Amino acid sequence: MTSPERFILIDDEKVANMLAERSIRKVFEESAIIKFTEPEKGLYFIMDECLLPALTTVVFLDINMPILSGWEVIYSLEQLACDVTSHFKIYIVSSSVDPADKEKARISPLVKGYLEKPITRSVVESLFMEKVAS
Amino acid sequence: MKRWQSSYIRAFKGEAYTEEVYGELPDPHWSEISFNPIIESGVVVAVACCSKNISNRKKIEEQLKLSEKMMAEAQRIAKVGSWELGLTKDAGAPIWSDEAYRILGYDPKTDMPSYENYLKRVHPDDLEFSTTIVEKAIAEGSKFSIKHRLILRDGTLRWINSEGEVIVDAVTGMPLKIVGTNQDITDKVLAEEKANRESNNRDILMNTIGDSMWSMDANMNMIAANARFIGFIKAFTGIDIKPGDNLLIEKFGEEVLTRWKARYERALAGETFSEEEYSEYPEPAWTENSFHPIAENGKVVGLACFAKNITTIKIVQEQLKQNEIMMADAQRVAHVGCWERGLEHEDHEKNFVRWSDETFKIFGYDPKNDTASYEKFLNRLHPDDLHFAPQVVCKAIEDKSRYALEHRIILPDGSIRWISSQGEIVVNEETGKPMKVVGTNCDITEKKLMEQEREKIAADLMQRNKDLEQFAYIISHNLRSPVSNIMGLAEELKDDLDTESRTLFLTELSQSVAKLDMVIKDLNYILQIKREITEIKDHVVFSGLVNDIKASISNMIQTEKVTIDVDFSAIDEMYTLKSYLYSVFYNLITNSIKYHQPGIAPHITVKSNQTKNGIALFFSDNGMGIDLEIQGNKVFGLYKRFHTGIEGKGMGLYMTKNQIEALGGTITIDSQVGVGTQFKIEFNK
């Protein structure tokens, strides 16, 4: 299990980010974790790093946020000329159980997967165990 | 000389003869000269000659010949032959005139007259009775006359009238001979037969038709009648009426007599007329009686009357009438009219157009006073359908096919009606060209309105359903969101934590629980609005509403230095649910204060306006504004927030929109980032 160099958490709820951070920390002690409660700031961060040689980064992106929803962030990234997926592995994170959101996540080339909240230690583990298995 | 010499030589040869000689000298005369040889011992020794003047005899003979010739000529012309048949034992052959020969088909030159030859020609069927008559006449010494047929040698049938008289010996009373004539009456008999046939045909015609015919003189006495009439009189009165009898038979009864007398008198006064009459006797029947005066020298001398049984026609007419009534009823009840329009003339105006009463009514015309025309239809056609509807029909005419379309018409009172029009092209079988178009019109306005209503309801329902789906999704998300936090926090609390972390998690936990509780409360509130309105409507005064809100948020107004301008001069009142309208005003005003531009005191303007369809309310501010290009479709969505860092649940505008819609209004937004926002609310009557 190679640990990702960095995690970016985008959720307007502080609690959610905090919970995710704690769960990640339990699995990957060394990884850097950057948290955004304002999605546009998270978007700009990713956009800025897109063209630079960047760290291997896992992004947990919440869907339901004011100003910009998770999908709008995805849409903005799709418009970029560079290939975001080369070093950003984006996971949609939601408390929603709407099948339409799951389907959208499956189809989008930018999205690696769909995770249901809360992001617990086992969620993080299973995510990377799975990767190893495949 | 020579003539005399040859005569003498003939006589000297021993021949005795006589010759008649015509001489001109001294006077024109005829002489009979006889030469008689005198023979002695077988030798002619002398000739005794004797000349006798026979001029007188010759003259009488000539006259006789002439008269015979004339007689024969007369007989030929009159086709009358005369004959004479001797009855005594020593009687010779009968004597036939030339015409008698010819009538019997014999030749006077070659055939011999005989009673047998006569009998040979008599038609076999007439032989017995004609010989009987002749024998009887002979026995009685009387005259006879027989009309009988002959069959000639060539098979020709000939009718003759044979008349004869038996001549009796005045002394002995014995029959001596029969003299008689035969007249060829074939032409006459044939003419008679023809006339009889014609008259029979006429009688048959008159007597076999089911109608009564009779004629009468000015005194109402019958002149002639057909069997039907006579039979009718017999059936009615038991009397056999005959020509000359008066037609007003007492047995008819007073009532019938009065009626008929009046009719006869009316016709005898010179009027030709017919009347229909119903009678139960002799069988239930309708009769048409017609009366035709017969005039002679300008004076009515009688009547020709005709009684026709029109029961069948009446029944058919009655059925037709019933059918027409039923048809009209059906058309009226179903709002269906039928019509047809000719197509054979290039010029529309020359083609016939027929409309049923209901078609007139559907198009707003009067079936009694208006006439149908294609123009009249076009006059009613809705301008927007003016090109489309006739084109569909034209296409059908081209294709000789059927068509069905729906179009609108405008009636004189301005009302718009929907018409379902169906038609078919009838083709002339001989020419293959379109002959006419027949069709129906059905007023489907009510159906159409219902259909439109249904469509609207269906669209509304679909929208409502989509809204509900969205609502369900949002609610589930907003319920799930604190729940997931609670789950996460609870998971963390299982770990061995320091006091600080534990306190933080417990605080977060209680906040998440509070959030969950709030979402459930919101849910209750929203569902309350979505439910049917039970509150009673009231007259709500806008200025009063704003003043109440100002009072309730006076703290906020003071802190934020809010100014609120109102202008309800156009209209300051509305009949509605006060609590809803209060909530709308409250949300919009507090939103404007909440999202003011940093450093600029909120300024709010509330204004009313009277519109064509009702009331419009405007809420304007100088706040932050929303980028509608990005957020426009979500402004009124549930749990949508547009500004981070400012307290808000993302429910205010969602509720406002729902409340306005519950009151039957609409809300729209106009906004510019950094300038301000204006909401426009419209309530239609």
Please indicate whether, in this complex, the C-beta atoms of B477 and A95 are within 8 angstroms of each other.
Answer: yes
Answer whether B644 sits within 8 Å of A96, measured CB to CB.
Answer: no
Contact B488 A117 (CB under 8 A): yes
Nearest chain B residue to A96 by CA distance is B477
**Residues of chain A positioned with their CB less than 8 A from the CB of B650:** 66
CA–CA dist A13, A36 (Å, integer):
9
Residues of A in contact with B476 (CB under 8 A): 96-98
Nearest to A118 among B485, B639, B641 (CB): B485
A124-133, B278-287, B310-319: lowest mean pLDDT where?
A124-133
Length of chain B: 685
A57 CA: distance to closest CA in chain B (Å): 23
The angle subtended at Cα B589 by Cα B585 and Cα B593, nearest 5°, is 165
Q: Which of B479, B487, B489, B492 to mutate to test the interface with A (most CBs of A within 10 A)?
A: B492
Q: Which amino acid is at B36?
A: N
- Give the pLDDT score at B170: 82
Cβ–Cβ < 8 Å for B260, B275: no
CB contacts, 8 Å: B511 with chain A: 15
pLDDT in tens, B629-684: 777 667 777 666 656 555 556 677 888 888 888 788 899 999 998 899 999 999 98
pLDDT score of B382 more than 80: yes
Residue B102 has pLDDT above 50, yes or no: yes
Q: Do B306 and B292 meet the contact criterion of CB atoms below 8 Å apart?
A: yes
**Contact between B644 and A66 using a beta-carbon 8 Å cutoff:** yes
Average pLDDT estimate for B70-99:
83
Please report the DSSP string for A30-96 in residue order.
S-EEEEESSHHHHHHHHHHHHTS----EEEEEES--SSS-HHHHHHHHHT-SS-GGGTEEEEEEES-
Instruction: Spell out where B54-103 has E strands.
Output: 80-86, 95-96
Q: Say how many CA atoms lie within 13 Å of B376 toward its Cβ.
A: 18
Which pLDDT does position B532 carry in this prediction?
53
Residues 6+ apart with CB under 8 A from B626: B632, B635, B642, B669, B671, B673, B677
How many whole angstroms separate alpha carbon A42 and alpha carbon A33? 12
Q: What amino acid occupies position A80?
A: L
pLDDT recorded at residue B650: 66
H-helix or E-strand spanning residue B41: none
pLDDT at A134 over 50: no
**What is residue B411's predicted lDDT score, i.e. its pLDDT?**
93
Instruction: Look at phi and psi of residue B297 and say left if phi exceeds 0, alpha if psi is from -120 to 50, else beta.
Output: left
Positive/negative CA dihedral, A79, A83, A87, A93: positive
Buried residues in B269-293 as b, exposed as e (16+ CB within 10 A): eeeeeeeeeeeeeeeeebbbbbbbb
Residues B395, A26: Cα–Cα separation, whole Å: 80
Mean pLDDT throughout B287-307?
91
Distance CA B160, CA B189 (A): 9
Question: How far is it, in rounded angstroms, from Cα A59 to Cα A31?
Answer: 13
Lowest mean pLDDT among A12-26, A109-123, B11-25, B299-313: B11-25
Of B477, B483, B492, the CB nearest to A19: B492
Element (H, E) at B646: none
User: pLDDT per residue over A2-55, tens digit each?
Assistant: 778 899 999 988 889 999 999 999 998 888 999 999 999 999 998 888 777 768
**Rounded to a whole number, what is the distance in Å from the CA of A67 to chain B's nearest CA?**
5
pLDDT of the residue at B51: 83
Of B477, B485, B488, the CB nearest to A96: B477
Q: Bin B644: left if φ > 0, else alpha if -120 < ψ < 50, else beta.
A: beta
CA distances from B192 to B123, B159, B161, B198, B659 (A): 20, 12, 14, 10, 113
Decide which of B319 and B27 is more confident: B319
State ipTM.
0.84
Residues of A within an 8 Å Cβ radius of B: 12-13, 15-16, 18-19, 22-23, 37-38, 64, 66-67, 94-98, 116-121
Nearest chain B CA: its distance from A72 CA (Å): 10
Q: Are A45 and A10 in contact (CB under 8 A)?
A: no
Per residue in B340-370, pLDDT (tens digit) is 999 888 887 888 999 988 899 999 999 899 9
Nearest-by-CA chain A residue for B504: A15
Q: Who has greater pLDDT, B360 or B31?
A: B360
Q: What is the DSSP letter of B596?
A: P
Question: Scanning the structure block, which residue is given the tokens 């006060």?
Answer: B578
Per the prediction, chain B carries an average pLDDT of 86
Residue type, B343: L
Chain B residues within 8 A of A97 when measuring between CB atoms: 476, 480
Q: Which of A10, A17, A19 to mutate to test the interface with B (most CBs of B within 10 A)?
A: A19
- pLDDT value of position A133: 43
**Interval A48-74: pLDDT, tens:** 887 777 688 999 999 888 778 899 899
Q: pLDDT tens for residues B502-539?
A: 998 899 899 889 888 887 887 777 676 665 555 677 88
Cα distance from A4 to chain B (closest Cα, Å)?
A: 23
Give B349's strand partners.
Answer: none
- How wide is the angle at C-alpha A80 spanned by C-alphas A78 and A84, nearest 5°? 70
Q: Which two tokens stand for residue B537?
A: 């409507």
Residues of A in contact with B626 (CB under 8 A): none
Of all residues in chain B, the percent with pLDDT exceeding 90 is 26
Chain A: closest CA distance from residue B628 (Å): 12
Contact check, Cβ <8 Å, B650/A66: yes
How far is the C-alpha of A39 from the C-alpha of A77, rounded, in Å? 12
Contact B95, B83 (CB under 8 A): yes
pLDDT of residue B647: 53
Nearest residue of B to residue A119, measured between CA atoms:
B488
Cα–Cα distances in Å, from A29 out to A18, A115, A129, B410, B413? Answer: 15, 21, 16, 82, 86
Which tens digits make up the pLDDT trace of B578-637? 888 888 998 899 889 988 998 899 999 999 999 888 899 999 999 988 888 777 667 777
The nearest CA of chain B is from the CA of A53 a distance in Å of 32
Residues in chain A with CB shorter than 8 Å from the CB of B489 are 15, 19
Q: Which residue has the higher pLDDT, B183 or B204?
A: B183
State whether A15 and B485 contact (CB < 8 Å).
yes
**8 Å CB contact between B28 and B34:** no
Query: What are the angstrom distances between the C-alpha of B139 and each of B95, B135, B168?
Result: 21, 6, 10
Q: What is the pLDDT of residue A132?
A: 46
Residues ≥6 apart with Cβ < 8 Å to B40? none
Residue B221, pLDDT score: 93
Q: Which helix (H) or strand (E) holds B451?
A: helix B445-494
For B43-47, B477-481, B594-598, which range has the lowest pLDDT when averaged over its residues?
Answer: B477-481
Beta-bridge mates of residue B213: B306
Q: What is the mean pLDDT of residues B119-136?
A: 89
- What would the two tokens of residue B313 be? 């026609």
Instruction: Compute CA distances B13 → A93, B2, B5, B45, B47, whole Å.
Output: 182, 17, 12, 10, 10
User: Among residues B529, B534, B515, B547, which one has the least CA distance to residue B650?
Assistant: B515
Residue of B nearest to A115 (CA): B484
Nearest to B332 by CA among B443, B449, B413, B451: B443
